[in-house]
């Protein structure tokens, strides 16, 4: 499976990249970065550090949008720390970002491959994807699917009472993507909030006999402190890795085709993902929206793949 990961690392973003690298079923063509959890210069540096961690400097990392389309930028440093990589002190990256903008890399890669063969795994705000669609409208017919960690239904919101972070940061970009007609697979808070990074699960990561396991455990231990306190749970939600894990084991998840619209007008509910779970509106279904997950199966797969690095 040929994929591009569009991301704003972030500790669990880095785990997503590592899982792709650890999986022979996946060919990671490149990583594109966007402003989100931290500013884009930092997300780019973090992506480069992730590849250095496992000695993979052969995969391009292209820096992308440094701000949302229409709104002021929002970060999540209160969750991820100032650098987005708090929890582990990694050395500076061994290389610079690959020359060329993320948007142009996405366009070139999709257009150079046969239609329908490229999957975009989007685990940050959707700014780069919307800019690419605006610059090359033919992408709508060429992208195979977009697998996205975004949205919420019954879990409502994690950055406002009604909005999930990746959508809220750039709701106008999200609206374009959800109206694009490209096949969408959505991993919302409804799934991620079932996947607590419990003490026992972090101990399993720590026990992996390579460098990666303890680093991932330390990253998640830091990142999830805020959410564990917020929700009163043993650990916090595991968000972004579900995109790659679903590509590997779709049987671990269950959902249904629904219509999803993104709110861009209301100051009160800006960035809300309006999910027509019961088909009330009769509007065209535009997303496979996940709601259920095999929790232990997901963590077993994470341990298995990271152990191979």
Q: Give residue-wise pLDDT tens across range 178-197.
A: 999 999 999 999 999 999 99
What pLDDT is stored for residue 124 in this prediction?
A: 98
Average confidence (pLDDT) over 253-272: 98
Distance of CA 206 to the CA centre of its chain: 23
Q: What is the CATH number of the domain that holds 126?
A: 3.90.245.10
pTM higher than 0.95 = yes
What mean pLDDT is reported for the chain?
Answer: 97
Query: Percentage of the chain with pLDDT > 90?
Result: 100
Catalytic annotation, residues: 239
What pLDDT is stored for residue 31 in this prediction?
A: 98
Look up residue 32 and give its two tokens. Answer: 């594109």
Under 8 Å between Cβ of 19 and 245: yes
pLDDT tens-digit map of 40-69: 999 999 999 999 999 999 999 999 999 999
In this structure, what DSSP letter does residue 3 have? E
157 CB-near residues (< 8 Å, 6+ apart): 163, 164, 168, 189, 272
Give the whole-angstrom CA distance, residue 177 versus residue 146: 9
Average confidence (pLDDT) over 119-140: 98
Average confidence (pLDDT) over 81-99: 96
What pLDDT is stored for residue 239 in this prediction?
A: 98
Under 8 Å between Cβ of 14 and 50: yes
Q: Predicted confidence band at 269 (pLDDT cuts at 50, 70, 90)? A: very high
Average confidence (pLDDT) over 158-177: 98
Range of the domain at 149: 2-307
Of 33, 38, 37, 27, nearest in space to 48 by CA: 33
Give the whole-angstrom CA distance, residue 268 versus residue 222: 31
pLDDT tens-digit map of 185-230: 999 999 999 999 999 999 999 999 999 999 999 999 999 999 999 9
Q: How many domains does the chain have?
A: 1
Give the whole-angstrom CA distance, residue 161 versus residue 258: 22
Under 8 Å between Cβ of 148 and 186: yes
What pLDDT is stored for residue 289 in this prediction?
A: 98
């Amino acid at each position: 499976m040929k994929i591009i990961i569009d991301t704003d690392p972030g500790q669990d973003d880095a785990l997503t990249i590592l899982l792709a690298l650890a999986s022979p079923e996946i060919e990671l063509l490149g990583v594109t970065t966007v402003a989100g959890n931290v500013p884009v210069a930092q997300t780019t540096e973090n992506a480069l550090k992730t590849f250095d961690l496992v000695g993979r400097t052969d995969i391009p990392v292209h820096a992308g949008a440094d701000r949302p389309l229409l709104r002021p930028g929002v970060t999540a440093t209160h969750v991820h720390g100032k650098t987005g990589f708090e929890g582990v002190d990694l050395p500076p990256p061994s290389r610079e970002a690959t020359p060329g903008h993320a948007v142009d890399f996405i366009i070139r890669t999709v257009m150079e491959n046969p239609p329908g063969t490229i999957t975009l795994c989007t685990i940050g705000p959707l700014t780069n994807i919307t800019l690419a669609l605006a610059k090359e409208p033919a992408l709508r017919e060429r992208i195979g699917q977009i697998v996205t960690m975004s949205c919420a239904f019954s879990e409502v919101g994690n950055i406002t009472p009604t909005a999930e972070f990746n959508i809220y940061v750039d709701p106008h970009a999200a609206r374009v993507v959800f109206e694009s007609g490209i096949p969408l697979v959505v991993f919302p808070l409804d799934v991620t909030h079932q996947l607590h990074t419990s003490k026992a699960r972090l101990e399993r990561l720590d026990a992996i006999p390579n460098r990666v396991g303890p680093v991932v455990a330390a990253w998640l231990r830091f990142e999830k402190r805020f959410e564990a306190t917020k929700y009163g749970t043993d650990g916090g939600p595991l968000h972004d890795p579900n995109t790659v894990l679903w590509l590997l084991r779709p049987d671990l998840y269950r959902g249904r085709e629904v219509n999803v619209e993104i709110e861009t007008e209301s100051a009160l509910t800006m960035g809300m993902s309006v999910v027509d779970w019961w088909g009330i509106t009769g509007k065209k279904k535009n997303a496979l929206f996940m709601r259920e997950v095999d929790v232990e199966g997901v963590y077993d797969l994470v341990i298995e793949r990271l152990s191979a690095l």
